[in-house]
Amino acid sequence: LSSKLNGVFDRLRRRGALSEADVSEALREVRVALLEADVALPVVKDLVAKVRERAVGQEVIRSVSPAQQVVKIVNDAIVEALGGGGETPAPSGLDLSAPSPVPILMVGLQGSGKTTTSGKIALRLKNRDRKKVLLASLDVQRPAAQLQLAQLAQQAGVASLPIVPGQTPLEIAARAMDVGRRELYDVVVLDTAGRLAIDEALMGEVAAVKAQARPHETLLVVDAMTGQDAVNTARAFQERVGVTGIVMTRVDGDARGGAALSMRQITGAPIKLLGAGEKQDALEDFHPDRIAGRILGMGDIVSLVERAAETIDRDEAEKLAAKMQKGKFDLEDYASQLKQIGKMGSLSGILGMLPGVGRMKQQIEDANLDNTILKRHAAIIGSMTPKERRTPDIIKASRKRRIAAGAGTTVQEVNRLLKQFDDMSAMMKRMNKMGQKGMMRGGLA
C-alpha cells in the first residue's frame, strides 16, 4: 500500500491549493486503508466525505505532497471522531459522579472479556480512585462463571458477592445493590452473562437488569478482533439497552482497531478503556491519537506533515521578523501576522525572535490584542485593495466606508485598526533605531 501511495505522492508533488483531483486520488488510497483496518463501510464513506469537504482548497504545505497532506487531514478527522464525550471522568477513566454505591453494568457478547475486564476495573477503581469495590456476577448461564469472578476479585484484593445458588440475574443484582448499600461500598460492578450472538433473550435479560439496577455506567465490552461484527453488536446493545461507554478488548492482538471508530460513530458512546492482555493490570486509558495511527497505519506520513507545517510557521514568522527589523512592515504583513495567531503564539512570539525587545514585547501584550479583534482585523484587511494595504496613508473617509461595509463592520473599527497599525509602525521605527544604536555600540566596543 505505501509504495502505491508513494506513486501518488510523486505525481502530485506541487504547490498551490489542494484540488478536487489531488484529494480524490489520495482519498481512494485512504479508503482502502480504512476498510483494511475493519472500519465499517458507512463510517468510511462518512469520513471520506467529511475530509473531502475539508481538504479541497486548503493551502498546500510546502515540502509535502498533497496526498501526504490529505493523510494528515484524515488522521485529524479520525482523532476528532474518536475523541470527546469522556468528560470529567475519575482517574480510572470512568464516570463515578453518582451517590454511592455507584452501579456499573458490564454488557457484551460471550467471550468478549466482560468478566476479565470487571476484575481489571475493580483493581483500577481500588488503586486509582481509592474506592471500595464489590464485584457481583449475574452470569447464571455457565456454572463456573460466578467462581471465575470471585477468583478475579480475590486477585484484585476486592470483595465479591457471596454466591447463592438458584437466584436469577435480577435477584442477584438486587442483592448486590443491597449489600453495597448496607456495607458502604463505593462502587458495585455487575458482570452479566453473554451469548454467542445477539438474541432477544440476552437483550431482554440485560435490559431488565439495567432497568432495575439503574447503573451509572453501562459499559459495552467488545473484542477488537471481531472487526466488522463489532458494529452490529454495538448497534444492537445501544438500541436495546443503551450504553454509556465502550471497552475494547484484545487490542494486544493484531487487529488494526477500525472497530473502535465504527462503534464510536454508530453508537455515539465514547471508548473509555482498552483491554490489552489477560493480566489484571492490562487495562489502558484510551488515546484517540494512538488508535487513529493504528487504524490509518500511516503514522510516519502524519508526523512528516506535522513537522513540515511547524517549519513553515517558523519560516513565515522569521520573514516577518526580518521585515519588521527593516521597518518595512505593511498591512499585508499585518494580515499574514494575524493568520499566524494561534499557530505561532501571536505577535509577541514573533517579537521574541528579535534581539533586545523585551520591553516592547510587554507593551504589545498589554495592548490586549484579543482574538475576536484579530479576526475582525483580518476581515477588514481582507476587504482592502492591495494598494491600500501597502500604502495605508491613502485610506480616507470614502475608502474607509467601503472597507467597513465590505468587512461587515463600522468605520470606527477601521479607524481603530489603522491607529493600531500606526502605533505598531511607530514602535517598529523606534525599535529599528534602537537596534542600529546597539549595532553602533557593538561596533565601537
- Which residue ranges make up the annotated binding site for GTP? 108-115, 191-195, 249-252
Kindly state whether residue 115 participates in binding ligand GDP, applying the rule CB under 6 A. yes
Closest CA to 223 of 297, 114, 86: 114
Contact pick of 113, 245, 258, 293 for ligand GDP (by CB under 6 A): 113
CB of 226 to ligand GDP, least distance (A): 12
Which neighbouring-strand residues pair with 191? 106, 137
Q: Which residues of this protein are in contact with Mg ion, per CB under 5 A?
A: 114-115
CB of 11 to ligand GDP, least distance (A): 42
CB of 82 to ligand GDP, least distance (A): 19
Q: Which residues are part of a known binding site? A: 108-115, 191-195, 249-252
For residue 60, CA distances in Å to 13, 136, 319 come to 10, 56, 19
Contact pick of 66, 108, 293, 392 for ligand GDP (by CB under 6 A): 108
CB of 146 to ligand GDP, least distance (A): 11
Q: Give start and end residues of each alpha helix (H) in 83-168.
A: 114-128, 145-156
Amino acid occupying residue 328: K
The DSSP secondary-structure symbol of 218 reads E
Per-residue b/e over 32-57, b at no fewer than 16 CB within 10 Å?
Answer: ebbeebbbbeebbeebbeebbebbbe
CB of 285 to Mg ion, least distance (A): 23
Cβ nearer to ligand GDP, comparing 87 with 254: 254
Q: Which stretch binds ligand GDP (CB under 6 A): 83-91, 105-113, 227-235, 398-406?
A: 105-113
CA distance 144 to 156: 19
270 binds, among ligand GDP, Mg ion, none (CB under 5 to 8 A by kind): none
Look-up of cell digits 470483595? 159
Cβ nearer to ligand GDP, comparing 120 with 264: 120
Contact pick of 89, 277, 299, 352 for ligand GDP (by CB under 6 A): 277
DSSP of 232-294: HHHHHHHHHT--SEEEEE-TTSS---HHHHHHHHHH-PPEEEEE-SSSTT-EEE--HHHHHHH
CA distance 35 to 18: 24
The DSSP secondary-structure symbol of 28 reads H
Helix (H) or strand (E) holding 208: helix 200-213
Q: Which three cell numbers stand for residue 343?
A: 499557530
Kindly state whether residue 275 participates in binding ligand GDP, applying the rule CB under 6 A. yes
110 binds, among ligand GDP, Mg ion, none (CB under 5 to 8 A by kind): ligand GDP
Q: Which stretch binds ligand GDP (CB under 6 A): 110-118, 165-173, 227-235, 359-367?
A: 110-118
Q: Of 182-211, which residues contact ligand GDP (CB under 6 A)? A: 194
Cβ nearer to Mg ion, comparing 114 with 256: 114
Helix (H) or strand (E) holding 10: helix 2-12
Kindly state whether residue 281 participates in binding ligand GDP, applying the rule CB under 6 A. no
Q: Of 206-245, which residues contact ligand GDP (CB under 6 A)? A: 221
Strand 245-249 vs strand 133-137: parallel, antiparallel, or unpaired? unpaired
For residue 188, CA distances in Å to 42, 196, 348, 366 come to 37, 25, 53, 53
Q: Of 246-265, which residues contact ligand GDP (CB under 6 A)? A: 249-250, 252
- Give contact residues for ligand GDP (rule: CB under 6 A): 108, 110-116, 194, 221, 249-250, 252, 275-278, 282
